[in-house]
Chains A and B, each alone.
Chain A
């Protein structure tokens, strides 16, 4: 690679998921040249997008420990699931408290929802008791729940299986968010404060050049002092580019998720789940205005991008979901997708946040799930490590912590909507009827860097509803082409190799005539 440097920076962050975005925002508080590179055509193209993505603590974290204990040696006692000093535990506990103010600063839509762990048969009650006992033993937030009986469960969650016997309820410890919105909001704010974000930029090599490092990408090179590896599922490959000596690997687990029509949103008020058992999770939850179902096992896979959805998984998942909420129906499925979770092989219970064994200016930030909850303290910690390694952190006087969300037309009162339309009539033009998204929002999303169909979708929800863009799809693509001043055939779904339309009408016929074919 002999590309001349296209950019010079002090820090290059590799990976535009929630980890990279949180670090980018944290570093944008300082007088630093920071560049974030993302190989996908859109931010959060990897693990963040397929995340169940709640911000939680307390009892749900206890359940999560049990669920993920499938990765530990068989027979690991429950008491060993809690590691108070691990980065993972520390950041989860601290992170939950930190989010409230940042969610407000960044105008991220969020809602506290109750967690209800229900049980109906003997076996489930036994598993529920394990969670209960572990929670009580850990104390504090973990013990902040109540146990309720059948009648009370059905009063609070009237649509759950009427055969339930008992439930644990924690009402203040789960925040419902939309993961891509979190990553995008963090990145937008970082950009507002001077961070440079490069999409479709894949790192292909790392080399040394005097006191500097060169990050080689498919689009040219970046000269930098420090490199942060936040590439999650691809973190091992990136790490190796900086030199050998890695003593950890990555392993991947996948589960299918299902989204139900907004019509069903009233089925549950919060998150309702059967008690977690190692390697298995069964939950139905309200995700914004939809219902999200994840009922399945943590199936091993050998690739971080194995988001292949298996039909049988969806069918089985629906069967289990119906045992939680019997009125759930296949007819209401509007989307299915698969999330891949990444764990390191050295210590499956913790993150890897350390400098490369042979490169002291290359910091691996390999975060296992839950990545969103601990992202804020993680970013702070990473900034601290950089400083210790000689990176000068001087606070900016003009750091702007606030970001305004794109107006959420659907959620506004008619009065607010009229005010918006009065200022810009494009907010009166509904483009996506399923999610009530206006042209004004789409144009704003493009202005903020959503330059693909998926970029617009994740920022506005256009095309995310029941018709999956059947009506708005062509309209969104045309708005993208108009605003970006590119031909319609250049509009991508997400990455550069995902064109939506292959050619103009008659083009194939004309080619045949010319004998080019």
Chain B
């Protein structure tokens, strides 16, 4: 590794990190360093061999590896330095990054940092499913790695708890592999992931879906041999007497994703309790000057295309910060209001066009999205599983009064 000062160091070479590194380089940073703990770049894209990627970013329907490859090629064209199988052991509030790989441990002091660590899956333990602790319980994403990258099946007869996108995609994938997916069990009254996955992965393959159900028992001491499911009431409590045994050898979990922010936490980056990710401004900058963040470590996105866009924005602004330009003052706070779970970014300047991303709490039809009092947009349908993405134009921003400190964002049924 050469010893020139690093302008932008990007942590994580998934879609957010790759886009950030590329954009930082093309925005004029001389030295960009991309650090990845896994054996290769692309992050989870390599194991997402299904299609549906790139519809927004490339206006093409691509598989995960194809989508990732576009970025990999750019990384190579731009000769961006990539360190693989390299873990960031420490990140401090003064911007020092300690790396570890087979060559040893090294501490660097880049001018800017982009956090792009992605997210991890919730586990059986974190949601406290009762029972023994046999082999055969696996998160959907880990199962995806086993099947698509390593070439092994976690089981033959499978029950999936949770209807997140990865869970539904694995239901189809395992069916195509000859395994029997006996049920997808969802606690909520509706499917957790995208509609297209609900149709293309579950209905098209006649996979039984049980909404308003949960798993109340895992059977088997050494290896799973079945699960007991039960209906849940409005408070999500199992209804006694509705239990049903399903024989299976494997339980897959698709029960939610958690932004990965151990490094952010270490560096004193302020985290939003709702998203689990850093509080960011419209430049994707955190409260720690010079530390930017993008992608699923900020909030769990529904489509990779948005992750790439966020990565680009973080990369561009990280490069700008590295070149010494001062950060603008962030004056206006975006507050989650009626039926809005969270809004990204949490603060804006109100001076330039900005993309707002949000998630709603409850599904609703015929709604009005309101940003403050003067900016409104009508939407036909909103669902918690699908992000609402909206560009706030300069023209719309002009309608916001000078001196506004806070804008409430709501997404409620039209009166």
User: Contact residues of A with B, CB < 8 Å?
Assistant: 263, 305, 307-311, 314-315, 330, 333-337, 414, 417-418, 421-422, 425-426, 428-430, 433-434, 436, 466-471, 473-474, 478, 488-489, 492-495, 497-509, 511-512
Decide yes or no whether B235 CB sits under 8 A from chain A.
no
A residues within 8 A CB of B156? 502-503, 508
Docked pose: A227 CA to B314 CA in angstroms: 68
- Say yes or no: A414 contacts B105, CB within 8 Å: yes
- Say yes or no: A314 contacts B102, CB within 8 Å: no
Decide yes or no whether B208 CB sits under 8 A from chain A.
no
Task: Enumerate B210-242 residues with CB–CB distance to A below 8 Å.
Answer: 216, 221-223
- Say yes or no: B150 contacts A474, CB within 8 Å: yes
Decide yes or no whether B357 CB sits under 8 A from chain A.
no
- Say yes or no: A473 contacts B129, CB within 8 Å: no
Decide yes or no whether B205 CB sits under 8 A from chain A.
no
A residues within 8 A CB of B262? 263, 433-434
Min CB distance, B153 to chain A, in Å?
Answer: 5
- Say yes or no: A333 contacts B120, CB within 8 Å: no
- Say yes or no: B142 contacts A428, CB within 8 Å: no
- Say yes or no: A426 contacts B102, CB within 8 Å: yes
- Say yes or no: A501 contacts B134, CB within 8 Å: no
Min CB distance, A460 to chain B, in Å?
Answer: 15
**What are 25 residue pairs bridging A and B, where the CB atoms are less than 8 Å apart in the complex?**
A309-B128, A310-B130, A311-B129, A315-B128, A334-B125, A336-B128, A414-B98, A417-B100, A421-B102, A421-B105, A422-B104, A428-B104, A429-B102, A430-B37, A466-B120, A478-B150, A498-B222, A499-B223, A501-B153, A502-B155, A502-B250, A503-B156, A505-B147, A506-B177, A508-B179
- Say yes or no: B104 contacts A421, CB within 8 Å: yes
- Assuming the contacts A421-B102, A474-B146, A509-B178, asked whether A497 and B128 have C-beta atoms less than 8 A apart, the reply is no
**Contact pattern, B 104-135, Cβ under 8 Å of A = 1, otherwise 0:** 11010000000000001101111011111111
- Say yes or no: B265 contacts A263, CB within 8 Å: yes
B residues within 8 A CB of A467? 120-121, 123
B residues within 8 A CB of A478? 150
B residues within 8 A CB of A509? 177-178
Docked pose: A421 CA to B129 CA in angstroms: 40
List 5 additional contacts besides A337-B133, A473-B138, A508-B178; criterion CB under 8 Å. A417-B104, A421-B105, A429-B102, A508-B179, A509-B177
How many residue pairs link A and B with beta carbons under 8 A? The number is 151
- Say yes or no: B145 contacts A508, CB within 8 Å: no
- Assuming the contacts A308-B131, A333-B128, A467-B123, asked whether A433 and B177 have C-beta atoms less than 8 A apart, the reply is no
- Say yes or no: B153 contacts A430, CB within 8 Å: no
- Say yes or no: B153 contacts A493, CB within 8 Å: no
Docked pose: A310 CA to B131 CA in angstroms: 7
Docked pose: A426 CA to B120 CA in angstroms: 25
**Contact pattern, B 148-172, Cβ under 8 Å of A = 1, otherwise 0:** 0111111110000000000000000
A residues within 8 A CB of B221? 305, 307
Tell me the nearest residue of chain A to B130, going by C-beta. A311
Among B87, B103, B151, B222, which residue has its beta carbon within 8 angstroms of that of A493?
A: B222
Tell me the nearest residue of chain B to A418, going by C-beta. B104
- Say yes or no: A428 contacts B128, CB within 8 Å: no
Min CB distance, B359 to chain A, in Å?
Answer: 18
- Say yes or no: B125 contacts A336, CB within 8 Å: yes
A residues within 8 A CB of B98? 414
- Say yes or no: A505 contacts B129, CB within 8 Å: no
- Say yes or no: B123 contacts A468, CB within 8 Å: yes
Decide yes or no whether B89 CB sits under 8 A from chain A.
yes
- Assuming the contacts A263-B265, A309-B131, A430-B87, asked whether A470 and B141 have C-beta atoms less than 8 A apart, the reply is yes
- Assuming the contacts A414-B105, A418-B104, A426-B102, asked whether A470 and B146 have C-beta atoms less than 8 A apart, the reply is no
Among B121, B130, B152, B265, which residue has its beta carbon within 8 angstroms of that of A503?
A: B152
Docked pose: A132 CA to B277 CA in angstroms: 47
- Say yes or no: B87 contacts A433, CB within 8 Å: yes
User: Contact residues of B with A, CB < 8 Å?
Assistant: 37, 85, 87, 89, 98, 100-105, 107, 120-121, 123-126, 128-136, 138-139, 141-142, 145-147, 149-156, 177-179, 216, 221-223, 249-250, 262, 265
Min CB distance, A286 to chain B, in Å?
Answer: 19
- Say yes or no: A493 contacts B142, CB within 8 Å: no
Min CB distance, B345 to chain A, in Å?
Answer: 23
Docked pose: A506 CA to B176 CA in angstroms: 9
Among B104, B121, B151, B265, which residue has its beta carbon within 8 angstroms of that of A505?
A: B151
A residues within 8 A CB of B135? 492-494, 498-500
Docked pose: A314 CA to B85 CA in angstroms: 38
- Say yes or no: B105 contacts A418, CB within 8 Å: yes
Among B107, B120, B130, B155, which residue has its beta carbon within 8 angstroms of that of A309?
A: B130
- Assuming the contacts A336-B125, A414-B98, A498-B222, asked whether A307 and B155 have C-beta atoms less than 8 A apart, the reply is no
- Say yes or no: A470 contacts B142, CB within 8 Å: yes
List 4 A-B pairs, minimum CB-CB distance, nearest first. A508-B178, A493-B135, A430-B87, A425-B102
Among B37, B129, B152, B155, which residue has its beta carbon within 8 angstroms of that of A504?
A: B152
A residues within 8 A CB of B125? 333-336, 468
B residues within 8 A CB of A337? 133
A residues within 8 A CB of B177? 505-506, 508-509
- Say yes or no: A502 contacts B150, CB within 8 Å: no
Min CB distance, B285 to chain A, in Å?
Answer: 24
Docked pose: A391 CA to B184 CA in angstroms: 61
B residues within 8 A CB of A418? 104-105
B residues within 8 A CB of A429? 85, 101-102
- Say yes or no: B222 contacts A494, CB within 8 Å: yes
Docked pose: A421 CA to B89 CA in angstroms: 14
Min CB distance, A113 to chain B, in Å?
Answer: 24
- Assuming the contacts A307-B133, A418-B105, A421-B104, asked whether A502 and B153 have C-beta atoms less than 8 A apart, the reply is yes
Min CB distance, B277 to chain A, in Å?
Answer: 14
Docked pose: A425 CA to B100 CA in angstroms: 11
Tell me the nearest residue of chain B to A506, going by C-beta. B177
Tell me the nearest residue of chain A to B87, going by C-beta. A430
Docked pose: A310 CA to B179 CA in angstroms: 30
Tell me the nearest residue of chain A to B250, going by C-beta. A502
Docked pose: A492 CA to B134 CA in angstroms: 11
- Assuming the contacts A311-B128, A333-B128, A467-B121, asked whether A498 and B104 have C-beta atoms less than 8 A apart, the reply is no
Min CB distance, B303 to chain A, in Å?
Answer: 22
Tell me the nearest residue of chain A to B128, going by C-beta. A314
Among B101, B103, B123, B149, which residue has its beta carbon within 8 angstroms of that of A470?
A: B123
- Say yes or no: B153 contacts A504, CB within 8 Å: yes
Docked pose: A333 CA to B87 CA in angstroms: 25
Tell me the nearest residue of chain B to A496, going by C-beta. B222
B residues within 8 A CB of A307? 132-133, 221
Min CB distance, A254 to chain B, in Å?
Answer: 12
Among A333, A473, A492, A498, which residue has its beta carbon within 8 angstroms of that of B126?
A: A333
Min CB distance, B253 to chain A, in Å?
Answer: 10
Docked pose: A134 CA to B153 CA in angstroms: 59
